[in-house]
Copies of this chain bind each other. A is one copy, B any other.
Amino acid sequence: MRPLIHPSIEDITVEGILHALSDPVRAAIYAELAVSSGATCSNFLKVSDRDIPKSTLSQHFRALREAGLIRSERQGVEMRNSTRCAEIEQRFPGLLPAIMKAHQAQAAGRMRAAKRKPKSAAD
Interface, chain A (partner B; CB < 8 A): 10, 13-19, 21-24, 27, 91-95, 97-99, 101-103, 105-106, 109
Contacts of A103 in B (CB 8 A): 14
Contacts of A27 in B (CB 8 A): 14-15
Task: Give Cα distance in the complex from A48 to B90, angstroms.
Answer: 26
Please state if B14 and A102 are interface contacts (CB–CB under 8 Å): yes
Q: Is the interface of A mostly helix, strand, loop or mixed?
A: helix
Task: Give Cα distance in the complex from A16 to B21, angstroms.
Answer: 10
Task: Give Cα distance in the complex from A103 to B16, angstroms.
Answer: 11
Task: Give Cα distance in the complex from A105 to B22, angstroms.
Answer: 21
Closest to A23 in B: B15
Q: List 18 A-B contacts (CB under 8 A).
A: A13-B106, A14-B27, A14-B99, A14-B103, A14-B106, A15-B22, A15-B27, A18-B21, A18-B99, A22-B22, A92-B101, A92-B106, A93-B105, A94-B94, A95-B98, A95-B99, A95-B102, A98-B99
- Nearest CB in chain B: distance from A25 CB, A: 10
Q: With A92-B105, A95-B98, A102-B92 in contact, is A24–B15 under 8 Å at CB? A: yes
